[in-house]
């Protein structure tokens, strides 16, 4: 994978609302959209509003949090490759 030479990329802890909406528009399948909305929750108290990464494996339903992060990282990488 491009960019893995020095290790995997970290997921952004926060995504601005407009950027998140652009990401959702770039995702081609429902599985990817569901993945993004499960990992990133909308924070209406933030100014400006933004989406915040949720990393609790219990909340996400993943037994292996590392696997979940890898799947989300691959999704974001594929989106940015085609944007």
Give pLDDT tens digits for 40-61. 999 999 999 999 988 765 555 6
Q: The tokens of 71 are what?
A: 């799947």
What is the number of domains present in the chain?
A: 1
What confidence tens digit (pLDDT) does each residue in 1-41 have?
A: 445 555 556 788 899 999 999 989 988 889 888 888 888 99
Instruction: Kindly state whether residue 61 falls inside one of the protein's structural domains.
Output: yes
pLDDT, residue 49, reads 93
Instruction: Kindly state whether residue 23 falls inside one of the protein's structural domains.
Output: yes
**pTM of the complete model:** 0.68
- Higher model confidence: residue 17 or residue 76? 17
Q: Which domain holds residue 46?
A: 14-82
Instruction: List % helix, strand, coil for the chain (3-state, nearest 5).
Output: 50, 15, 35
Q: The tokens of 74 are what?
A: 């691959």
CA nearest to 18, candidates 35, 42, 39: 42
């Amino acid at each position: 994978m491009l960019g893995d030479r020095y290790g995997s990329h970290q997921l952004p802890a926060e995504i601005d609302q407009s950027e998140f909406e652009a990401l959702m528009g770039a995702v081609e399948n429902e599985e990817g959209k569901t993945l993004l909305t499960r990992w990133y929750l909308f924070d209406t108290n933030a100014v400006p509003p933004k989406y915040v990464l949720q990393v609790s494996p219990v909340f996400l339903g993943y037994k292996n949090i590392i696997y979940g992060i890898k799947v989300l990282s691959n999704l974001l990488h594929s989106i940015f490759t085609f944007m």
